Amino acid sequence: MSSSIINSLLRDWGTDPLFLLAVASLPLLIGCVLPGRSKAKRRWLAAWRWLAAGLWLLCVLTFSAPLIVNPQVDAWEMRYAADGSCEASSPIVVLGAGLNRAATTANQTEYLYFSSHIRIARTADLAVAYPRAMVITAGAGVATITEAEMMREYLLQRGVNSERILLDSVSRNTYENALNVAELLEAKDLGQRFRLVTSALHMPRAMGVFETQGLSPCAIPVDYVAVKPVPWYAIAPQTTAIAKFRTYLHERIGYRLYKAKGWIDQP
């Protein structure tokens, strides 16, 4: 099996709470269908079924209860607060969150994911506030246009001069973002200090990989999703909590994988 297929399975299935719940339900299902002839075996099966049912319920609550999910998400999002120590002329780097394609009767139209809109909107605000700062948009594409180019169009519509915008249109992940942005900063003699705009959940992985490249980013986290405070009765499962947990799980696993590969050398 090729590495691309393995990576796809890890990304699409290994971080999906519903898939993990289905896997967790297998022991319960097996325990329900196993025959129990002797009295001792029936007792063992009954104990196993209760244990499996309890573990499955724990998984359900861990993945989908707002009272459990939101504190986990909040703790990860709050690892980096907004850093205002960068100079006014420091470059602004925004990382894309992905493109998708909407099929129509005539063609296919690419569009930015919701998180990308939040990131580029904040970047535009910063570009207006710091008119001497260069802006780097980073992200590859899936068809006719890249994330970097689409975010550039947004900045142009907000009145940012095209000469201030640099593109990294080939990065397919955060690691490649760091490599290519480092090259752009060096090529344009922009130094190693810059504002890094990305989602708060993504910021720990992004900061880790950029700092490992010897850069000194000022974190500008956006797109917070954790709710606080969470009422006590929010122990009931909720689909919005599942969506949050999936993104959180993706980032935690991604962070671990990056460390295992040596792309992040933080303790």
- Distance (Å, rounded) from C-alpha 264 to C-alpha 204? 10
Give the length of the chain. Answer: 267
Percent of the chain with pLDDT over 90: 59
More confident residue, 259 or 1: 259
Percent of the chain with pLDDT over 70: 79
Least confident of 1-10, 19-28, 182-191: 1-10
Would you state the pLDDT for residue 219? 98
Q: Closest Cα to residue 248, out of 53, 37, 73, 106?
A: 73
Would you state the pLDDT for residue 37? 60
Q: Closest Cα to residue 251, out of 197, 179, 198, 193?
A: 198
Q: Mean pLDDT over residues 227-239, rounded?
A: 87
Least confident of 76-90, 149-163, 165-179, 235-249: 235-249
Q: What is the pLDDT of residues 23-73, one digit of tens each?
A: 666 666 666 666 656 666 667 667 777 777 777 788 788 888 899 999 999
Q: What is the mean pLDDT of the chain?
A: 86
Cβ atoms within 10 Å of 100's Cβ, excluding its own: 11
3-state secondary structure the chain: CCHHHHHHHHHHCCCCHHHHHHHHHHHHHHHHHCCCCCHHHHHHHHHHHHHHHHHHHHHHHHHHCHHHHHHHHHHHHCCCCCCCCCCCCCCEEEECCCEEEEECCCCEEEEECHHHHHHHHHHHHHHHHCCCCCEEEECCECCCCEHHHHHHHHHHHCCCCHHHEEEECCCCCHHHHHHHHHHHHHHCCCCCEEEEEEECCCHHHHHHHHHHCCCEEEEEEECCCCCCCCCCCCCCCCHHHHHHHHHHHHHHHHHHHHHHHCCCCCC
Query: The dihedral of CA 83, 87, 88, 94: what is its sign?
Result: negative
Residue 22 near residue 43, CB atoms below 8 Å: no
Domains of the chain: 3-64 (no CATH), 84-229 (3.40.50.620)
Binned at pLDDT 50, 70 and 90, residue 212 comes out as very high
Q: What is the pLDDT of residues 131-182, one digit of tens each?
A: 999 999 999 977 678 999 999 999 999 999 999 999 999 999 999 999 999 9
Would you state the pLDDT for residue 30? 64
Report pTM. 0.82
Query: Which backbone phi and psi does 217 adopt, to 5 degrees?
Result: -80, 145
Q: Mean pLDDT over residues 88-99, rounded?
A: 93
Would you state the pLDDT for residue 227? 92
More confident residue, 41 or 95: 95
Q: Closest Cα to residue 159, out of 184, 178, 131, 118?
A: 131
Residue 221 in this model has a pLDDT that exceeds 80: yes
